[in-house]
A = this chain, B = another copy of it.
Amino acid sequence: MKNKAQIVIKRPEGLPEKETWKLVENEVPELKSGEFLVENHYISLDPAMRGWLNNSRSYIPPVELNEVMRSGSVGKVIQTQGETKFKTGDFVSGWGGVQQYSVTEGEGYFKVDPDQAPLTQYIGTLGMPGMTAYFGILEVGKLKPDDVVLVSGAAGAVGSIVGQIAKLKGATVIGIAGGKEKCEYITNELGFDGAIDYKNESVFKGIKAHCPKGIDVYFDNVGGDILDNAMIFLRRNARIVICGAISQYNNTAVQGPKNYMTLLVNRASMQGMVVFDYAHKYGEAIADLATWLKEGKLKSKEDVYEGIENFYDTFLRLFNGDKMGKLVLKVKE
């Protein structure tokens, strides 16, 4: 049996070029005792992947050269050897990487139920992006019901869930997204109180108009000028959640937030988060999110592209904004 995989062959500088990866086809290896074989159906594409390509100290080691590109995944167990964590026929989600088949002992894998939710949701709203949104807004952001929440990347996998959770908890929520379609999506379909189209209007004026009393929580997925604008409107004791900085990931010189002294003026805080720290509580989050999804209180959108050979073009959509909701690549042929 053959396995197609995208391996990393070059460390990128700036926006990764196509030559960062190479599609290879190899024989699926023999299973050792305790191992099982997963047929990957869907691969998760996340902005964090860009960081994993850098050879620098971070919250997770970089992907080594000639290794399969790291990614979340969801698929089906099709073969086992000896005593294994899951059995043939189980659907599982884990770190399968950008490949069609993964051999694993199951570390970091968990079982999912395709009857309870579409498989793609397990790498989206019920996966890492959902966990990030849940713990990011509730624990790091310390959301209170009367808060005014601003979220960037608001039509994305994390931002769209952050905003909806905040709405569910009673907050006023304004989203920043690129383009009319995304802005209409978050207000009309997701129930955000307002949207700012950073591609077509002034973010400063938008925040000023939508948040006349300022912001209690800014959930930042983008960094750069948008972070700087948000800082201008912090209220007393505001919290900034640093979840990502997609506008900066491909820059060799990062733009620091020049308005950070508003943290002092407003006794505000800016805190970073890594979702893995909350692994012991994922169950609680999944239970809440699944309930809200079933009750129709939470909407989850996956933007699915197809073909492992199209990994690079799909990956670029993370950075050019040409996607809606959670970006997913179907790799099952």
Which residues of A are at the interface with B, using a C-beta cutoff of 8 A? 57-59, 223, 228, 242-245, 248, 253-274, 277
Contact = CB atoms under 8 A, between A and B. Distances in A.
CB-CB nearest 9 A-B residue pairs: A256-B256, A264-B272, A263-B272, A256-B258, A269-B271, A256-B257, A254-B258, A270-B270, A242-B264
22 contacts: A58-B265, A59-B264, A59-B265, A242-B264, A245-B261, A248-B261, A254-B258, A254-B260, A254-B261, A256-B256, A256-B257, A256-B260, A257-B257, A263-B270, A264-B273, A265-B274, A266-B272, A267-B277, A269-B269, A269-B271, A269-B272, A270-B271
Contacts of A270: 260, 263, 269-271
A248 B270 CA distance: 19
Instruction: Decide if the interface of chain A is mainly helix, strand, loop or mixed.
Output: loop
Nearest to A238: B272
A244, A266, A268, A270 — most chain B CB neighbours (10 Å): A270
Within the oligomer, what is the number of copies of this chain?
Answer: 2
Contacts of A273: 264, 267
Contacts of A272: 261-269
Given A244-B264, A260-B270, A267-B274, 20 more contacts: A58-B265, A59-B264, A59-B265, A223-B261, A228-B256, A255-B258, A256-B257, A257-B257, A261-B272, A263-B271, A264-B272, A264-B274, A265-B272, A266-B272, A267-B271, A267-B272, A267-B277, A269-B270, A269-B272, A270-B270
A271 B274 contact: no
Contacts of A274: 264-265, 267
A261 B244 CA distance: 8
A64 to B, nearest CB: 19
A228 B267 CA distance: 20
A259 B265 contact: no
Contacts of A266: 59, 272
A88 to B, nearest CB: 39
A196 to B, nearest CB: 21
A268 B242 CA distance: 10
A268 to B, nearest CB: 6
A57, A58, A242, A264 — most chain B CB neighbours (10 Å): A264
Nearest to A58: B265
A244 B264 CA distance: 8
A158 to B, nearest CB: 13
Contacts of A277: 267
Contacts of A258: 253-256
